[in-house]
Structure 1
Amino acid sequence: MKKNLKVKILTAVIMLLVFIGAAIILNRPDPDDVLSSAQKRIFAFAKVTAILGDNASPDTWTEGRRIGAQELEVRILTGKHKGAVLETINYLNAYYNVDAKLGTRLIVRLDYNDTGELYVVSIPNYDRSSILVIALIAFAILMVLVGGKQGARALLGLLFTLLNLWYILIPLVLKGVSPILATILIAAYTSAGALLLLTGYTKKTFCALVGCVGGVIAAGIFAWIITILTPMNGFNMSEAEELVIRASESPLKISGLLVSGILLSALGALMDTSMSIVSALHEVYEQNPSISKKQIFRSGMNIGRDAMGTMANTLILAFVGSAFNLLILFQVYEYPMIQILNSDMMAIEILQGIAGSVGIIATTPLVSALCATIFRFKGNKILTR
């Protein structure tokens, strides 16, 4: 028992050190870099201290949203200009509608005019940070209350995954590494970290990890083949033009971003499917250690078939939800079906749902076969039950 605990701690320390080292190397600033236009902008939290004028009024076509302009007095709450009181015009339209009231907390963009005086350029958003922080805390508390130690470990695994995506995967892609290769490697690494935190260094973890990575690779191969045959790649995405403009001087490979996005979207579902099948099969084996490999495999396939239907629906409906506005527009303009199905946006959404589902389908027999072999293997002294 003590040996297994030492192995778990050593593994966690090694993975953490690898993350810290990679994050430092990949995010190290280049001395030749110059600040981008976005980095030069000054943003701050502010609070409305007075409404000096307001000609905005509700409009029928905006479903009651007020259209017009407000003259506001705001006090800066953060940054080097904290305490400054400024006046500004807040323009309200249907799409950019930060309708301020007395005491409303806002995000403001600041700049200096030709005489060096500070002024508010625009009010891009409400200050939503406090509400979002409360929502995150509530989510974490519920996870721990309901899930106990497992819930706490799941939260740590989620945090580990998000940190790796932001500090390792994206910098790797920006430095010219193949997005597909980088995504598969990070998917394997983060899955290992999340599963180790969740279930420890066990046979269950090993089977779930290999099954998850295998499903990601299967989904990636399927998506890659389809993107070649259609043809379709990252340049078909709505953000491609902005990426080309902003990243023209970097070695970023845009063509692989489509498949990478598909793999990331499917990763969570594949991890869930793998662990669900493995946990169920492990329980079956624990209750009946004499069960044969064939019976374990058959049970895994039966469990996996149920998971396939629900997870495939989850993936496809998630992508349908993200494209819901687009579907409404197709109905409004009465596009013919031949145009709908062959449009870039719809083809991408369809591919995302199908590729993720293919990954789930591939995961089921792989995990079942692994469990049938690993659970009955008696010679393993490192992996616990």
Structure 2
Amino acid sequence: MNRGPSPSCDDRPVTSLSLDPEPPGHQHDHAHTHGPAAPVSKHLRKVIAAVLVPFATAVLVGLVALWPGGAPSHERTGVGFDRQTQQGKVVKIDKVDCTDVAAGQQPADGSAPPPTSSNGRCARATVEVASGPDKGRTFIEIVQPDAPLQLRDGQGVVVAHAPDAPRELQYSVTDVNRKFPMTLLAGVFALVVVAVGRMRGVMALIALAVSFAVLTLFILPAILQGSNPLLVAVVGASAIMLIALYMCHGPSARTSVAVLGTLISLLLIGLLGSLFIGWASLTGNTDDSTGLIHGLYPDIDMSGLLLAGVIIGSLGVLDDVTVTQTSAVWELHRANPTLGVRGLYRAAIRIGRDHIASVVNTLVLAYAGAALPLLLLFSIARSDMGTVANSELVAEEIVRTLVGSIGLVASVPVTTALAALVVSADRTGLGAEAGAPAPVRTGKGRRRRTKP
């Protein structure tokens, strides 16, 4: 399905309207140009700046006012991710009869030991602690033949450390070490992006790193410090949007239109999300992770955290849609400069309808794929769809998907209309600025040039 011009930071020729004024003496025949689009008129530069400068200033003020200065400390609970861990390595594996071993060692987190199989061959792993104050110390881990985590000789593992437990029970294996394959995959991803996108690919990777920095250094710590999750998400998402779009696509009118379209859509998503999360009485506290967060930081507004997740989760796809639509309008104008506002809008919205169909389907399938184990459990339980949809765990995903999809669909006509207005108004303004006769509208979006 045609999704229109690619919104990625690629290395295609830059056809966006530069915000810099046109060099003196450099004039274009705006009715027949085939090169890069001309810079925007002085009037439009002022209009765009009047909107974006206050917005960027407000985002900067929000970052300064809400900056957390680091996540608050707390006493470890020893549950889940909130426990002390060290690196380890399996140095020896012995196969023994399961009937000859005890019921398994007591886990370091204090939970009940897993049941021991009555028959079969168990693995008796000798594990060496590879980091921390007890580096070099070894302990024994018994692995049942039907355990989900199977160990092998020489394998790197993550071990939980319970310093208050008896010495023989202080360490236990909780997971395998996956850092190398994940780092290798990240390196391959970076190479592919740079090889295809070249300089634009490099800028996309830098923007990605900045986005993660805003998320980990500002959004997450600020929420933990007790700031309003919705306000933090709006400020953080706006900062990510400004940095990523302008870094990838440059300070141009086309990028500015995409920013405005994304901003309007994010505001719509925030309003709808706030309305329906409250109306549906969604608490945001539905699983072990959110329960642990609420237990450690009871002052966090969990429903606000849910809304913040909706906004941040929608931002990436919104960028894709708005950049695509502005690029479509610019390229249509370049191919046929005689098209007026209506003509540009009608042509670009046809591309947008294809984009809507594919993006909405992508969003729904992404959420369904993430919740596949949960949906499988409901299927095993043979619950009817009404009961499943009414449960808060599923209702959260439904509201998240539908609110985000409404924002995506709305971003297409909004961004397309903004881009068509900017392109058409800019052409008239440039003609007057350059001393050329202004084109005259002849109806149905077409224009003709008056004789000088």
TM-score, length basis structure 2: 0.70
Q: Deviations over 1:303-338 (max 9, x none)?
A: 211111111001111111122222222222211233
After TM superposition, give the deviation of residue 179 of structure 1 in Å. 1.5
Question: 1:243: Cα distance to partner?
Answer: 2.4
Helix, strand or coil at the partner of 1:209:
helix
Contact 1:212–1:274 (8 Å) recurs in 2:
yes
CA shift for structure 1 position 297: 2.0
Note if contact 1:178-1:253 (Cα within 8 Å) is conserved in structure 2. yes
Q: Percent identity?
A: 23
Which residue does 1:245 correspond to in 2?
295
Aligned to 1:233: 283
Q: Is the 8 A contact 1:86 1:120 kept in 2?
A: no
Q: Per chain length, whose mean CA-contact separation is higher, i.e. which structure has more relative contact order (CA < 8 Å, sep 6+)?
A: 2
Instruction: Check whether the contact 1:143–1:151 (CA below 8 A) recurs between aligned residues.
Output: yes
Does the 8 Å contact 1:71/1:87 carry over to 2?
no
Matched ranges for 1:105-124 at <5 A:
105-112=156-163, 120-124=170-174
Name stretches of at least 5 consecutive residues in structure 1 with no aligned partner: 5-10, 58-65, 381-385
CA contact (8 A) 1:68 1:93 kept: yes
- Once the two structures are TM-superposed, the CA of residue 371 in structure 1 deviates from its matched residue by 0.6
Describe the shift of the 1:126–1:346 C-alpha distance in structure 2 as closer, same or farther (beyond 3 A). Answer: same
Q: Distance in 2 between matches of 1:297 and 1:67?
A: 70
**What root-mean-square deviation, in Å, do the aligned CA atoms of Structure 1 and Structure 2 show?**
3.2
What is the CA-CA distance between 1:346 and the residue it aligns to? 1.9
**Structure 1, 211-220 or 233-242: larger mean CA deviation:** 233-242
Query: What letter is aligned with 1:51?
Result: I
- For residues 114 and 175 of structure 1, what CA distance do their matches in structure 2 show? 32
Whether 1:373 aligns to 2:425 is no
What is residue 349 of structure 1 aligned with on the other side? 397
How many aligned residue pairs are there? 354
- What is the letter of the counterpart of residue 167 of structure 1? L
Alignment CA distance shift 1:352-1:68 (3 Å) = farther
- What displacement does 1:238 show? 6.0
Question: Cα 1:141–1:238, aligned 2, differ >3 Å: closer, same or farther?
Answer: same
Tell me if the contact between 1:203 and 1:375 (Cα under 8 Å) persists in the aligned partners. no
Instruction: Compare 37-46 and 207-216 and name the one that shifted more.
Output: 37-46
Cα deviation, residue 153, structure 1 = 1.4
Equivalent of 2:247, from 186, 194, 197?
Answer: 197
Using the TM superposition, give the Cα deviation of residue 106 of structure 1 relative to its aligned residue in structure 2, in angstroms: 0.8
Inter-partner Cα distance in structure 2 for 1:24 and 1:219: 22
The residue aligned with 1:60 is none
1:209 aligned onto 2:209: no
Q: Retained in 2: the 8 A contact 1:300–1:365? A: no
The 1:261–1:300 alpha-carbon spacing in structure 2 relative to 1, beyond 3 Å, is same
Q: Quick one: structure 1 residues 293 and 350, their matched pair in 2 at CA, closer, same or farther if it must change by over 3 Å?
A: same
Per the alignment, residue 29 of structure 2 pairs with none
Q: Structure 1's 70 and 351: CA in aligned 2 closer, same or farther, altered over 3 A?
A: same
Change (3 A) 1:104 1:132: same
Aligned partner (choices 170, 176, 179) of residue 226 of structure 2: 176
Give unpaired runs (5+ residues) of structure 2: 1-17, 22-52, 100-118, 431-452
State the alpha-carbon separation in 2 of the partners of residues 294 and 303 from structure 1.
Answer: 15
Maintained 8 Å contact 1:237/1:258: no
1:89 has 2:166 as partner: no
Q: How far is the alpha carbon of 1:50 from its aligned partner?
A: 1.2
- Give the greater-gyration-radius structure (CA): 2
Q: 1:90 to 1:375 in 2, by over 3 A?
A: farther
CA contact (8 A) 1:88 1:120 kept: no
Tell me which of 362, 365, 370 is aligned to 1:314.
Answer: 362
Compare the two structures and name the one with the higher helix fraction. 1
Q: Matched residues in 2 for 1:68 and 1:197: separation?
A: 57
Amino acid at match of 1:215: S
Structure 1 residues 2, 328: closer, same or farther in 2, change over 3 A?
A: closer
Tell me which amino acid in the other structure corresponds to 1:233: T
Counterpart in the other structure of 2:126: 73
For the residues of structure 2 that align with 1:2 and 1:344, how far apart are their CA atoms?
48
CA distance in structure 2 between the aligned counterparts of 1:186 and 1:161, rounded to whole angstroms: 9
Written as runs of structure 1 = structure 2, the 5 A alignment for 1:10-89 is: 25-28=67-70, 33=73, 35-37=75-77, 41-55=83-97, 69-82=122-135, 84-89=136-141
Task: Indicate yes or no: 2:325 matched with 1:274.
Answer: no
Decide whether aligned partners of structure 1 residues 233 and 120 sit closer, same or farther in structure 2, where only a CA change above 3 A counts: closer
Matches of 2:85 and 2:175, distance apart in 1: 11
Q: Distance in 1 between matches of 2:145 and 2:266?
A: 43
Q: Residue 235 and residue 90 in structure 1: after superposition, are their counterparts in 2 closer, same or farther (change >3 A)?
A: same
1:149 alignment counterpart: 199
